[in-house]
Structure 1
Amino acid sequence: MKNIHRNCLSSMDDRFALIDYLDSVEFANLFLINIDNFSNFNNAYGFEYGDKILVEITKLIIKSKPATAKLFRISSDEFAVVSLEDMNQSRLADIASSMVSFFDQMEIEVDEDIYTRASISIGISTGKGSQILNQAKIAIKELREYSRGSYKIYDPNSVYIKKQEENVYWIHKIKEAIEKERLLPYFQPIINNKTKKIEKYECLVRIFDEGIVVPPIRFIEASKLTGTLSLVTRTIIEQSFKKFGDTEYEFSINITKIDLHLNYLEEFLLKHAIKNAINPSRVVLEILEDIDSLSSPEVIAQLNSLRSFGFKIAIDDFGSQSSNLSRLLEFLPDYLKIDGSFIKNILTDNKSLIIVEAIVLLCKKSNIKIIAEFVHSAEVQAKVEELGIEYSQGFYFSEPKEDL
């Protein structure tokens, strides 16, 4: 049975035949069909039955596709339907919607008395040449940013496409900035709310590009995609340690989950602490991800080792997304930075105030010092002080600057 199924699938026209076909016609409508989570079938039933399910899925595609359209199998769980008919966007959408609905209604026999269902995602592109295959792949990627079991027509002007183009641009700019030393730390003061003096600084990355200072929101996503994020962190560590070598300030550096998983921090931080005569107790490592990212034994061991040398730990943006109170109490960081959206709205949104009050109470009882970010006015600062929050940071005091 296994060989029969595989022979049936392998006899179909493949990706190379598809490319040849697309290059040979003047115009084509391409429906790229991807089976959602197909690996689950192999895991649940085994590869032999996975092949059988693929054969049945192929039959369903043949039944649901336009009668005159050609079918190609691109990879194990990906098919292409190509039609040469003249179709407007409404017709393309109708065909794709019909195919998705057809799959939603059909059961696939796995074995005697065992049935399953498959859902599909469809990326659609029209035009001439094999580039429409790449465009359809992009359409599926964009679709899966939001959902599965649906369809998406390629739109060169979509926000998703613009974001991909911007990432490509910043990939080049990041590498250039590192090579030409244009990746720089900027420093924002953190105020002790009892003494009213600057006690520490947060080191924030910027790119100096053609006379413009670029904030990380523009390029960090591209840095993650290209694996250069740890290079950004290393550069900021090196430059920040130089900056604070002749001062007495405490300073914090943002650390990502990627930095922790690469497991280079201890050696690198100690090297630059010795080189610049900085006591590790002056260095705060701000963990950017939610606290659940600290749950693995390897990460916990690494952070505990860093703390044994004197480095301090801060949890950033607490209160957002999946912040975990139980994990916080297990880990007990030195500092907790309340998510800036709560501080920013603390005077106008009662929910934000309640959340901040709860976090303050928890931290007071756990001996965790609190830093309020996004303090942008005297009124917000007065409320922060009233709540007993130890430190404040924000544009009310200073924007990030190149010098202290």
Structure 2
Amino acid sequence: MQNIHNDSLTNIANRFALMEYLQGLEHANIFLIDIDNFSNINNAYGFEIGDAALVEIARLIAIVKPFTSRLFRLNSDEFVVVCMDVMSSKKLSDAASSMISFFDQTEIEVCDDMNIKVSISIGISIGSGTEILNHARTAIKELREHKRSSYKVYDPNSSFIKKQQENIYWVHKIKEAFEEERLVTYYQPIVNNKTKKIEKYECLIRICDDGILTPPIRFMEASRLTGTLSLVTKSVIEQSFKRFSDTEYEFSINITSTDLYLDYLEDYLLKSAKKHNIHPSRVALEMLEDINTLNTPEILAQLNSLRYHGFKISIDDFGSQSSNFSRLLEFSPDYLKIDGSFIKNILTDKKSLIIVEAVVLLCKKSNIKVIAEFVHSAEVQAKVEELGVDYSQGYHFGEPMEELR
């Protein structure tokens, strides 16, 4: 009969044994060892070779780990070394560095005629109970934001931890706001520079909390990372379609590649258009990410299908570092919004002026309408008009408001 506390592949203590062991310790140093990109070995050589590599890796960790420590296999490519000794920061660093250096210099023999190289990343935490295992995993996640084949000691005061806590806060906040209808859409006018009249509006989400409005810059990234982005987008669609159902204005809605990957957007937009009797040609979908996302066939296919139904496509923040003129010409959107930082500085920064001139010229030749954001003064508006920009948006014409002007 198999011992439930032993890993059947490597014959070392398993996750169940680790949890029991940690619960009985008042103090421990945890080294969570993760094999970098181990899935590549399984994909390249097959699971049989992968298993052979894990057996050899476990044997080598047992050799190189601190002398008084115990070794456990946590998951497929994760091992845990637990040491009860009181260890200084230097001793922790030396132990982790020693294990990393060992694997950097050692080939793993998986069969008679095959050796492979692996590298490891280590998350370190100190304390008691099973919670320190979570801390070690968090340390690895923080480490891998920047590099691999290294180690990181868990720091509860690090900016990474604070960001994780902030994301947890916002995921609850967004879900509550959605359920309680406190996700509120505001509308900012977009002016036709030839007629001088408001022709369109951009729909912008806010969270309303006891009369205090939270702008999207505070929560959109957390929403994307925590999987609540579709709630935000759906709320904007529902509110804006209802708002513009009895008007003739066009309006734009911000979407991201995440909305498209979830594969709900086209159906949701078409149903909303039918429900509120709005022709899709009145709706522009603003891509929030850079234009390089159009390299993805799935996204490109959905956008082309939306255009087929009549929806217009707008590229937002063009002119930023990641913009791609070649992709722009290939996709040929209906509208292009010049990155607001260039418009804001157009009177004082020669580079900003040159970039705006180049973008406007390209769009004119490609039959793409240009929108300037961040138009905050009459002087900036005069320059924008002089350059031939088709539309303007900014506080010079009006800030985002809950009601239409």
Instruction: Quote the Cα distance in structure 2 between the aligned partners of 1:378 and 1:102.
Output: 65
Shift of 1:254: 1.0
Distance 1:146 1:316, change over 3 A: same
Shift of 1:193: 2.3
Q: Which residue of 2 aligns with 1:314?
A: 314
Instruction: Quote the Cα distance in structure 2 between the aligned partners of 1:215 and 1:16.
Output: 46
Q: Which residue of 2 aligns with 1:145?
A: 145
Do the aligned partners of 2:100 and 2:119 also contact (CA within 8 Å) in 1? yes
Deviates more, 1:143-152 or 1:226-235: 226-235
Q: Which residue of 2 aligns with 1:59?
A: 59
Shift of 1:272: 2.8
Q: Which amino acid aligns with 1:198?
A: I
Q: Which residue of 1 aligns with 2:165?
A: 165
Q: Which residue of 2 aligns with 1:241?
A: 241
Deviates more, 1:392-401 or 1:15-24: 392-401
Do the aligned partners of 1:8 and 1:55 also contact (CA within 8 Å) in 2? no
Instruction: Quote the Cα distance in structure 2 between the aligned partners of 1:8 and 1:351.
Output: 64
Shift of 1:121: 0.8
Instruction: Quote the Cα distance in structure 1 between the aligned partners of 2:116 and 2:345.
Output: 49
The gaps in structure 1 that reach 5 residues or longer are 1-5
Shift of 1:153: 0.8
Distance 1:331 1:345, change over 3 A: same
Do the aligned partners of 1:290 and 1:321 also contact (CA within 8 Å) in 2? no
TM-score calculated relative to the size of structure 1:
0.91
3-state DSSP class of the match of 1:201? strand
Instruction: Quote the Cα distance in structure 1 between the aligned partners of 2:231 and 2:24.
Output: 46
Q: Which residue of 1 aligns with 2:400?
A: 400
Q: Which residue of 2 aligns with 1:80?
A: 80
Do the aligned partners of 2:7 and 2:14 also contact (CA within 8 Å) in 1? no
3-state DSSP class of the match of 2:240? helix
Instruction: Quote the Cα distance in structure 1 between the aligned partners of 2:108 and 2:346.
Output: 54
Q: Which residue of 2 aligns with 1:108?
A: 108
Shift of 1:132: 0.2
Distance 1:59 1:317, change over 3 A: same
Q: Which amino acid aligns with 2:396?
A: Y
Q: Which amino acid aligns with 1:335?
A: Y
3-state DSSP class of the match of 2:51? helix
Distance 1:298 1:74, change over 3 A: closer
1:242-257 paired onto structure 2 within 5 Å:
242-257=242-257
Q: Which residue of 1 aligns with 2:3?
A: none
Distance 1:361 1:115, change over 3 A: farther
Deviates more, 1:296-305 or 1:117-126: 296-305
Shift of 1:200: 1.1
Q: Which residue of 1 aligns with 2:134?
A: 134
Deviates more, 1:292-301 or 1:50-59: 292-301
Shift of 1:51: 2.1
1:23-102 paired onto structure 2 within 5 Å:
23-102=23-102
Distance 1:68 1:349, change over 3 A: farther
3-state DSSP class of the match of 2:31? strand
**1:373 to 2:373 alignment:** yes
Instruction: Quote the Cα distance in structure 1 between the aligned partners of 2:95 and 2:347.
Output: 52
Shift of 1:267: 3.5
Instruction: Quote the Cα distance in structure 2 between the aligned partners of 1:261 and 1:7.
Output: 38
Shift of 1:119: 1.1
Instruction: Quote the Cα distance in structure 2 between the aligned partners of 1:146 and 1:375.
Output: 37
Distance 1:267 1:44, change over 3 A: closer
Do the aligned partners of 2:10 and 2:58 also contact (CA within 8 Å) in 1? no
Instruction: Quote the Cα distance in structure 1 between the aligned partners of 2:131 and 2:38.
Output: 26
Instruction: Quote the Cα distance in structure 2 between the aligned partners of 1:89 and 1:349.
Output: 49
The gaps in structure 2 that reach 5 residues or longer are 1-5
Q: Which residue of 1 aligns with 2:273?
A: 273
Shift of 1:240: 0.7
Do the aligned partners of 2:10 and 2:54 also contact (CA within 8 Å) in 1? no
Q: Which residue of 2 aligns with 1:224?
A: 224
Deviates more, 1:162-171 or 1:97-106: 97-106
Instruction: Quote the Cα distance in structure 2 between the aligned partners of 1:93 and 1:250.
Output: 60
Deviates more, 1:379-388 or 1:128-137: 379-388
Distance 1:112 1:396, change over 3 A: farther
Shift of 1:348: 4.5
TM-score calculated relative to the size of structure 2:
0.91
Instruction: Quote the Cα distance in structure 2 between the aligned partners of 1:279 and 1:111.
Output: 65
Instruction: Quote the Cα distance in structure 1 between the aligned partners of 2:349 and 2:148.
Output: 35
Q: Which residue of 2 aligns with 1:336?
A: 336
Q: Which residue of 2 aligns with 1:262?
A: 262
Q: Which amino acid aligns with 2:60?
A: L
Q: Which amino acid aligns with 1:30?
A: I
Distance 1:126 1:355, change over 3 A: same
Instruction: Quote the Cα distance in structure 1 between the aligned partners of 2:291 and 2:166.
Output: 30
Shift of 1:326: 2.3
Do the aligned partners of 2:188 and 2:202 also contact (CA within 8 Å) in 1? yes
Equivalenced residue count is: 399
3-state DSSP class of the match of 2:72? strand
Deviates more, 1:388-397 or 1:282-291: 388-397
Shift of 1:303: 2.7
Shift of 1:113: 5.5
Instruction: Quote the Cα distance in structure 2 between the aligned partners of 1:17 and 1:226.
Output: 32
Shift of 1:74: 0.5
Deviates more, 1:169-178 or 1:276-285: 276-285
3-state DSSP class of the match of 1:316? strand
1:167-189 superposed Cα distances (whole Å, 9 cap, x missing partner): 11111111111111111101111
Distance 1:261 1:382, change over 3 A: same
Deviates more, 1:46-55 or 1:151-160: 46-55
Shift of 1:112: 4.8
